[in-house]
């Protein structure tokens, strides 16, 4: 720095700098740059383009968007071509599948219809088949296939379900032809009348409900013993049989149907339904009381119902059956029945002064059991029957067994006598008495005779 400058003030320095700047010239040879590409007229505006950073970004975004759009367009075109190919493949597979399924269905329908109509089953021989208890459609189908009665199990099941026949089949043994169509097979197996597994069972006169249940079970004629006993004390049959509906003291009876299971020889199916068994008994009883019977003292045949209507005693049919059941249980033979009938009628109308205020019958003492030994062991020591005529006056609440026609007619037509007592020896000989003294004498004689 010039030492003279130290003596200059700041203002003067600034002026000096301006003068130097004004006098400064750049010595450049203008001839070297007279090319039109570099030198432009002062009157011509500059066309030099200048871009900022933001403009560049926008331009790049636009270019990327165009590239992405083109890429998506190409992808869409490729996907469209792929979908078109897939649709063609699917249609082809679908058509092939339809043809295969159609062919299979056609074969199934043809073979099924042929089996349904038994077109190809020309074997007319019969075969014995066993339908189990409570059979299902599968059970029945298996039995039929195993015995070559049908050939298309799935079609048979379809037919059964469509016709709603699944619940129509009944258990039992059947002899069926192998050339029957489906409808004929179902109808055949739906009727118990076609069963061949029957058993003949004889119910003897005087058997009680409990004893009848045991007889049926022993002979294989009863499917469910407990159900049988339950139905015998139910209201199941009231609407079908007036004589059951007319019963009195039903709530005090051990078995409501006691007395009405008519003793006879029956044909039952093996393990037959308890309800069906009872209907056979009750239908038979109804038939018997409406049949004309030959009875001593009547000029012509008459029915039990007619005799009840014309009886002087005015007992109801239910009371007559109770008397008949006692006669059946107490009498030694048919002749004895009429004497015991007279004794029962006499005691039922006797004056208490005769010492016969109750019937006093051994046959009622342990009912519904036959004797004390028949009472279940747990109850034996304290058992007391509400039918016991040693304690109860008049008739018991209902029948004590199921009497036959001889006992029923004897109940309606007692002998004319003045007897009030009877007893039998070990051989069945009957002894009758008009007084208690005569009865005691008869008992002493029987005791000495039997010993």
Read off the pLDDT of residues 275-302 as tens digits, 9 standing for 90 and up. Answer: 999 999 999 999 999 999 877 766 668 8
Contact 364, 400 (CB under 8 A): yes
pTM (predicted TM-score):
0.71
* Residue 66 pLDDT exceeds 90: no
Read off the pLDDT of residues 132-164 as tens digits, 9 standing for 90 and up. Answer: 988 999 999 999 999 999 988 998 999 999 989
For 131, the enclosing helix (H) or strand (E) is strand 126-131
Read off the pLDDT of residues 228-264 as tens digits, 9 standing for 90 and up. Answer: 999 999 999 999 999 999 998 989 999 999 999 999 9
| Residue tagged 């049919």 (tokens) | 317
Top-confidence residue, 186 or 356: 186
Q: Which of 388, 288, 370 is CA-nearest to residue 329?
A: 370
With a CB cutoff of 8 Å and minimum separation 6, the contacts of 442 are 421, 423, 431, 433
Contact 405, 206 (CB under 8 A): no
Six-digit token pair at 281?
């008994």
Helices 317-330, 405-412: inter-axial angle, 10-degree rounding: 120
* Residue 1 pLDDT exceeds 60: no
Whole-number Å distance between alpha carbons of 10 and 380: 150
Whole-number Å distance between alpha carbons of 320 and 259: 10
Contact 217, 203 (CB under 8 A): no
% of the chain beyond a pLDDT of 70: 85
* Residue 54 pLDDT exceeds 60: yes
Whole-number Å distance between alpha carbons of 384 and 4: 160
Q: Within 13 Å of residue 210, how many CA atoms lie on the same side as its CB?
A: 12
- 330 CB burial (10 A radius; 0-12, 13-18, 19+): buried
Spell out where 169-276 has E strands. Answer: 172-177, 198-202, 265-269
Q: Which of 182, 377, 212, 357 is CA-nearest to residue 285?
A: 212
% of the chain beyond a pLDDT of 90: 59
How would DSSP label each residue in 42-107?
TTSPP------HHHHHHHHHHHHHHHHHHHHHHHHHHHHHHHHHHHHHHHHHHHHHHHHHHHHHHH
Query: Given this model, what pLDDT does residue 94 score?
Result: 74
Mean pLDDT estimate for the chain: 86
Contact 308, 316 (CB under 8 A): yes
Q: How confident is the model at residue 129 (pLDDT cuts 50, 70, 90)?
A: very high
Q: Tell me the mean pLDDT in the region 90-108.
A: 73
């Amino acid at each position: 720095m010039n030492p003279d400058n130290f003596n200059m003030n700041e203002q003067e320095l600034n002026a000096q700098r301006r003068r130097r700047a004004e006098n400064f010239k750049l010595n450049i040879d203008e001839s070297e740059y007279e090319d039109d590409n570099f030198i432009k007229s002062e009157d011509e505006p500059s066309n030099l383009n200048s871009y900022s950073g933001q403009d560049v970004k926008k331009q790049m975004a636009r270019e990327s968007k165009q590239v992405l759009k083109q890429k998506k367009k190409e992808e869409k075109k490729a996907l469209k071509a792929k979908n078109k190919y897939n649709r063609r493949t699917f249609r082809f597979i679908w058509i092939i599948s339809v043809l295969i399924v159609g062919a299979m269905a056609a074969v199934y329908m043809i073979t099924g219809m042929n089996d349904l109509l038994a077109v190809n089953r020309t074997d007319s021989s019969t075969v014995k088949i066993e339908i189990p208890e409570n059979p299902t459609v599968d059970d029945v189908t298996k039995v039929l296939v195993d015995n070559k009665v049908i050939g298309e199990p799935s079609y048979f099941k379809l037919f059964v379900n469509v016709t709603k026949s699944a619940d129509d089949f009944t258990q039992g043994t059947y002899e069926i032809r192998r050339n029957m169509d489906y409808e004929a097979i179902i109808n055949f197996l739906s009727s118990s009348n076609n069963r061949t597994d029957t058993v003949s069972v004889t119910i003897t006169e005087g058997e009680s409900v409990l004893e009848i249940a045991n007889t049926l079970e022993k002979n294989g004629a009863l499917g469910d013993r407990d159900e049988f006993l339950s139905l015998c004390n139910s209201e199941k049959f009231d609407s079908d049989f007036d004589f059951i509906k007319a019963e009195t003291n039903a709530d005090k009876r051990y078995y409501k149907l006691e007395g009405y299971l008519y003793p006879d020889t029956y044909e039952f199916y093996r393990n037959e339904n308890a309800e069906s068994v009872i209907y056979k008994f009750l239908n038979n009883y109804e038939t018997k009381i409406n049949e004309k019977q030959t009875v001593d003292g009547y000029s012509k045949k008459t029915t039990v119902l007619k005799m009840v209507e014309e009886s002087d005693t005015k007992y109801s049919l239910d009371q007559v059956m109770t008397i008949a059941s006692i006669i059946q249980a107490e009498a030694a033979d048919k002749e004895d029945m009429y004497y015991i009938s007279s004794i029962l009628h006499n005691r039922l109308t006797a004056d208490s002064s005769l010492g016969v205020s109750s019937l006093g019958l051994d046959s009622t003492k342990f009912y519904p059991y036959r004797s004390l030994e028949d009472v279940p062991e747990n109850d034996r020591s304290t058992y007391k029957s509400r039918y016991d005529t040693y304690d109860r006056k008049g008739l018991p609440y209902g029948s004590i067994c199921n009497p036959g026609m001889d006992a029923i007619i004897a109940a309606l037509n007692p002998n004319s006598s003045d007897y009030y007592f009877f007893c039998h020896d070990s051989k069945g000989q009957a002894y009758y008495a008009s007084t208690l003294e005569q009865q005691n004498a008869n008992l002493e004689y029987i005791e000495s005779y039997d010993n």
